[in-house]
Copies of this chain bind each other. A is one copy, B any other.
Protein backbone atom coordinates (compact mmCIF):
# COMPACT_ATOMS: atom_id res chain seq x y z
CA UNK A 1 0.00 0.00 0.00
CA UNK A 2 1.46 3.31 -1.05
CA UNK A 3 1.84 6.14 1.41
CA UNK A 4 -0.64 8.77 0.29
CA UNK A 5 0.63 12.33 0.61
CA UNK A 6 -2.55 14.28 0.14
CA UNK A 7 -2.31 17.83 -1.13
CA UNK A 8 -4.06 20.67 0.64
CA UNK A 9 -7.54 21.52 -0.61
CA UNK A 10 -7.34 25.22 0.14
CA UNK A 11 -4.25 27.33 -0.52
CA UNK A 12 -2.92 29.87 1.90
CA UNK A 13 -4.47 32.70 -0.04
CA UNK A 14 -7.92 31.10 0.22
CA UNK A 15 -8.19 29.55 -3.22
CA UNK A 16 -9.48 26.08 -3.92
CA UNK A 17 -7.85 23.38 -6.04
CA UNK A 18 -9.84 24.35 -9.08
CA UNK A 19 -8.99 28.01 -8.55
CA UNK A 20 -12.35 29.07 -7.16
CA UNK A 21 -12.79 31.40 -4.21
CA UNK A 22 -14.48 29.88 -1.16
CA UNK A 23 -17.82 31.47 -1.98
CA UNK A 24 -17.71 30.80 -5.69
CA UNK A 25 -19.79 28.24 -7.49
CA UNK A 26 -18.82 26.26 -10.60
CA UNK A 27 -19.92 27.31 -14.10
CA UNK A 28 -23.62 26.58 -14.63
CA UNK A 29 -25.76 26.05 -17.68
CA UNK A 30 -29.51 25.68 -17.35
CA UNK A 31 -31.88 24.98 -20.20
CA UNK A 32 -35.63 24.41 -20.32
CA UNK A 33 -37.67 22.41 -22.81
CA UNK A 34 -34.93 20.00 -23.89
CA UNK A 35 -36.94 16.79 -24.27
CA UNK A 36 -39.89 16.74 -26.66
CA UNK A 37 -41.99 13.85 -25.42
CA UNK A 38 -42.37 15.08 -21.84
CA UNK A 39 -44.78 17.77 -20.72
CA UNK A 40 -41.90 19.79 -19.34
CA UNK A 41 -38.15 19.28 -19.14
CA UNK A 42 -34.84 20.86 -18.24
CA UNK A 43 -31.11 20.27 -18.44
CA UNK A 44 -28.49 21.47 -16.01
CA UNK A 45 -24.72 21.43 -15.96
CA UNK A 46 -22.81 22.46 -12.84
CA UNK A 47 -19.16 21.87 -13.53
CA UNK A 48 -19.09 18.34 -14.88
CA UNK A 49 -22.37 17.37 -13.23
CA UNK A 50 -24.90 16.87 -16.05
CA UNK A 51 -28.55 16.14 -15.43
CA UNK A 52 -31.81 15.87 -17.35
CA UNK A 53 -35.19 16.27 -15.71
CA UNK A 54 -38.61 15.63 -17.24
CA UNK A 55 -42.17 16.01 -16.01
CA UNK A 56 -45.21 14.00 -17.11
CA UNK A 57 -48.65 15.04 -15.97
CA UNK A 58 -50.93 15.89 -14.40
CA UNK A 59 -52.50 12.64 -15.53
CA UNK A 60 -54.73 9.97 -14.05
CA UNK A 61 -53.16 8.40 -10.96
CA UNK A 62 -52.30 4.76 -11.49
CA UNK A 63 -52.84 2.33 -9.84
CA UNK A 64 -56.16 3.85 -8.85
CA UNK A 65 -56.02 3.16 -5.12
CA UNK A 66 -53.07 5.57 -4.86
CA UNK A 67 -55.23 8.46 -6.10
CA UNK A 68 -56.05 11.12 -3.51
CA UNK A 69 -59.57 12.58 -3.64
CA UNK A 70 -58.49 16.16 -2.97
CA UNK A 71 -55.06 16.54 -4.57
CA UNK A 72 -52.51 15.20 -7.00
CA UNK A 73 -49.84 12.77 -5.92
CA UNK A 74 -46.31 13.51 -6.97
CA UNK A 75 -43.89 10.77 -7.93
CA UNK A 76 -40.18 11.34 -8.29
CA UNK A 77 -37.32 9.18 -9.41
CA UNK A 78 -33.72 10.33 -9.09
CA UNK A 79 -31.56 7.93 -11.06
CA UNK A 80 -27.93 7.78 -12.14
CA UNK A 81 -26.68 6.37 -15.40
CA UNK A 82 -24.29 3.45 -15.00
CA UNK A 83 -21.46 5.47 -16.58
CA UNK A 84 -22.14 8.65 -14.60
CA UNK A 85 -19.66 7.86 -11.83
CA UNK A 86 -16.11 6.60 -11.37
CA UNK A 87 -16.25 2.85 -11.80
CA UNK A 88 -19.60 1.59 -13.03
CA UNK A 89 -22.79 1.88 -11.02
CA UNK A 90 -24.75 -1.37 -11.21
CA UNK A 91 -28.14 -0.95 -12.92
CA UNK A 92 -31.10 -0.71 -10.55
CA UNK A 93 -31.90 1.74 -7.80
CA UNK A 94 -29.40 1.92 -4.93
CA UNK A 95 -30.50 2.79 -1.41
CA UNK A 96 -28.90 6.21 -1.92
CA UNK A 97 -30.96 6.84 -5.06
CA UNK A 98 -34.14 5.79 -3.24
CA UNK A 99 -33.44 8.16 -0.35
CA UNK A 100 -32.62 11.05 -2.67
CA UNK A 101 -35.77 10.41 -4.70
CA UNK A 102 -37.69 10.83 -1.46
CA UNK A 103 -36.08 14.04 -0.25
CA UNK A 104 -36.30 15.62 -3.70
CA UNK A 105 -39.96 14.62 -4.00
CA UNK A 106 -40.73 16.06 -0.59
CA UNK A 107 -38.99 19.29 -1.57
CA UNK A 108 -41.08 19.57 -4.73
CA UNK A 109 -44.30 18.65 -2.92
CA UNK A 110 -43.68 21.80 -0.90
CA UNK A 111 -43.97 24.06 -3.94
CA UNK A 112 -46.43 22.35 -6.29
CA UNK A 113 -50.06 23.32 -5.77
CA UNK A 114 -51.24 19.74 -5.61
CA UNK A 115 -54.80 20.65 -4.68
CA UNK A 116 -55.37 21.91 -8.23
CA UNK A 117 -55.42 18.36 -9.59
CA UNK A 118 -57.48 15.98 -7.47
CA UNK A 119 -57.10 12.25 -8.29
CA UNK A 120 -54.13 13.00 -10.53
CA UNK A 121 -50.46 12.12 -10.60
CA UNK A 122 -47.45 14.15 -11.63
CA UNK A 123 -44.31 12.15 -12.46
CA UNK A 124 -40.87 13.68 -12.24
CA UNK A 125 -37.83 11.90 -13.60
CA UNK A 126 -34.30 13.04 -12.89
CA UNK A 127 -31.53 11.37 -14.84
CA UNK A 128 -27.96 12.03 -13.82
CA UNK A 129 -25.78 11.33 -16.84
CA UNK A 130 -22.63 12.54 -15.14
CA UNK A 131 -22.15 12.94 -11.39
CA UNK A 132 -19.46 15.25 -10.13
CA UNK A 133 -20.79 16.45 -6.75
CA UNK A 134 -23.99 18.33 -6.00
CA UNK A 135 -26.26 16.06 -8.03
CA UNK A 136 -29.27 16.07 -5.70
CA UNK A 137 -29.45 19.85 -5.53
CA UNK A 138 -28.74 20.29 -9.24
CA UNK A 139 -31.32 17.61 -9.98
CA UNK A 140 -33.87 19.40 -7.83
CA UNK A 141 -33.07 22.70 -9.54
CA UNK A 142 -33.66 21.12 -12.94
CA UNK A 143 -36.83 19.36 -11.79
CA UNK A 144 -38.29 22.58 -10.45
CA UNK A 145 -37.62 24.24 -13.80
CA UNK A 146 -39.16 21.29 -15.66
CA UNK A 147 -42.32 21.67 -13.55
CA UNK A 148 -42.55 25.32 -14.53
CA UNK A 149 -41.82 24.40 -18.16
CA UNK A 150 -44.73 21.95 -17.98
CA UNK A 151 -46.99 24.80 -16.88
CA UNK A 152 -47.79 23.16 -13.57
CA UNK A 153 -48.83 25.76 -10.98
CA UNK A 154 -46.16 26.21 -8.33
CA UNK A 155 -45.87 28.57 -5.39
CA UNK A 156 -42.33 29.41 -6.38
CA UNK A 157 -39.39 27.94 -8.24
CA UNK A 158 -36.91 26.25 -5.97
CA UNK A 159 -33.19 25.88 -6.43
CA UNK A 160 -30.55 24.04 -4.49
CA UNK A 161 -26.82 23.93 -3.93
CA UNK A 162 -24.46 22.23 -1.54
CA UNK A 163 -22.21 23.94 0.92
CA UNK A 164 -19.28 22.19 2.52
CA UNK A 165 -16.78 22.43 5.31
CA UNK A 166 -13.29 21.87 4.01
CA UNK A 167 -10.20 22.17 6.13
CA UNK A 168 -12.20 24.17 8.61
CA UNK A 169 -13.58 26.62 6.04
CA UNK A 170 -17.11 26.88 4.72
CA UNK A 171 -17.18 26.65 0.92
CA UNK A 172 -19.89 26.97 -1.69
CA UNK A 173 -20.67 24.21 -4.16
CA UNK A 174 -17.96 21.71 -3.14
CA UNK A 175 -16.23 19.70 -5.85
CA UNK A 176 -16.18 15.93 -5.68
CA UNK A 177 -12.77 15.90 -4.06
CA UNK A 178 -13.79 18.51 -1.50
CA UNK A 179 -16.89 16.49 -0.76
CA UNK A 180 -14.91 13.30 -0.20
CA UNK A 181 -12.04 14.71 1.78
CA UNK A 182 -13.85 17.56 3.53
CA UNK A 183 -15.41 17.50 6.99
CA UNK A 184 -19.00 18.17 5.98
CA UNK A 185 -21.34 18.35 3.01
CA UNK A 186 -24.66 20.15 3.35
CA UNK A 187 -27.15 20.16 0.47
CA UNK A 188 -29.67 22.97 0.79
CA UNK A 189 -32.60 23.99 -1.39
CA UNK A 190 -34.87 26.96 -0.98
CA UNK A 191 -37.95 28.58 -2.44
CA UNK A 192 -36.49 32.11 -2.35
CA UNK A 193 -39.69 34.10 -2.77
CA UNK A 194 -41.22 32.14 0.13
CA UNK A 195 -38.14 32.61 2.32
CA UNK A 196 -38.21 28.91 3.03
CA UNK A 197 -36.08 25.82 3.02
CA UNK A 198 -37.45 22.88 1.01
CA UNK A 199 -34.51 20.49 1.32
CA UNK A 200 -31.84 20.29 3.98
CA UNK A 201 -29.39 17.56 4.77
CA UNK A 202 -26.08 17.42 6.54
CA UNK A 203 -23.41 14.78 6.32
CA UNK A 204 -20.50 15.61 8.57
CA UNK A 205 -19.69 17.79 11.51
CA UNK A 206 -20.55 21.45 11.97
CA UNK A 207 -21.07 23.75 14.93
CA UNK A 208 -24.11 25.99 15.21
CA UNK A 209 -22.18 29.02 14.03
CA UNK A 210 -20.66 27.18 11.08
CA UNK A 211 -24.16 26.02 10.19
CA UNK A 212 -25.41 29.59 10.12
CA UNK A 213 -22.51 30.67 7.94
CA UNK A 214 -23.10 27.74 5.61
CA UNK A 215 -26.80 28.43 5.32
CA UNK A 216 -26.13 32.04 4.38
CA UNK A 217 -23.61 31.02 1.78
CA UNK A 218 -26.10 28.53 0.33
CA UNK A 219 -28.69 31.29 0.17
CA UNK A 220 -26.31 33.38 -1.90
CA UNK A 221 -25.69 30.57 -4.38
CA UNK A 222 -29.36 29.73 -4.56
CA UNK A 223 -30.10 33.34 -5.46
CA UNK A 224 -27.84 33.04 -8.50
CA UNK A 225 -29.41 29.77 -9.59
CA UNK A 226 -32.91 31.14 -9.11
CA UNK A 227 -32.15 34.00 -11.49
CA UNK A 228 -30.76 31.54 -14.05
CA UNK A 229 -33.91 29.45 -13.76
CA UNK A 230 -36.09 32.46 -14.42
CA UNK A 231 -34.04 33.49 -17.42
CA UNK A 232 -34.03 29.97 -18.80
CA UNK A 233 -37.81 29.82 -18.57
CA UNK A 234 -38.01 32.86 -20.81
CA UNK A 235 -35.35 32.25 -23.38
CA UNK A 236 -35.02 28.50 -22.75
CA UNK A 237 -31.45 28.59 -21.45
CA UNK A 238 -29.11 30.58 -19.22
CA UNK A 239 -25.52 30.28 -18.08
CA UNK A 240 -23.38 31.43 -15.19
CA UNK A 241 -19.65 31.85 -15.56
CA UNK A 242 -17.51 32.47 -12.49
CA UNK A 243 -15.93 35.92 -12.58
CA UNK A 244 -12.42 34.55 -12.95
CA UNK A 245 -13.30 32.77 -16.17
CA UNK A 246 -15.07 35.58 -17.92
Chain A residues with CB under 8 Å of chain B are: 62-63, 65
CB distance from A59 to the nearest CB of B (A): 14
The A interface is mostly helix, strand or loop, or mixed, namely loop
Bound complex: CA A65 to CA B62 (Å): 10
Roughly how many angstroms separate A246 CA and B65 CA in the complex, as a whole number? 56
Number of copies: 3
Residues of B within 8 A of A63 (CB): 65
Name 2 interchain pairs, CB-CB below 8 A, sorted by A: A62-B65, A63-B65
Least CB distance, A96 to chain B, in whole angstroms? 17
Roughly how many angstroms separate A63 CA and B62 CA in the complex, as a whole number? 13
Q: How far is the CA of A65 from the CA of B65 in the complex (A)?
A: 13
Which chain B residues lie closer than 8 Å to A65 at the CB level?
62-63
Least distance between A98 CB and chain B CB atoms (Å): 15
Q: Which residues of B contact A62 (CB under 8 A)?
A: 65
Complex Cα–Cα for A183 and B63 (A): 48
Measured in the bound complex, the distance between the Cα atoms of B174 and A203 in whole Å is 49
Complex Cα spacing A65 to B60, Å:
13
Q: Give Cα A156 to B63, complex, Å.
A: 38
Please give the distance in Å from A64's CB to the nearest CB on chain B: 8
**Distance in angstroms between the alpha carbons of A65 and B64 in the assembled complex:** 10
CA distance A65 to B63 in the complex (A): 9
In the complex, A63 Cα to B65 Cα: how many Å? 9
Closest Cβ neighbor of A64 among chain B residues? B65
Find the B residue at minimum CB distance from A62.
B65
- For the complex of A and B, list the 2 residue pairs with the smallest distance between their C-beta atoms, beginning with the closest: A62-B65, A63-B65
**Nearest CB on B from A92, distance (A):** 14
Cα distance, A121 to B63, chains bound together (Å): 20
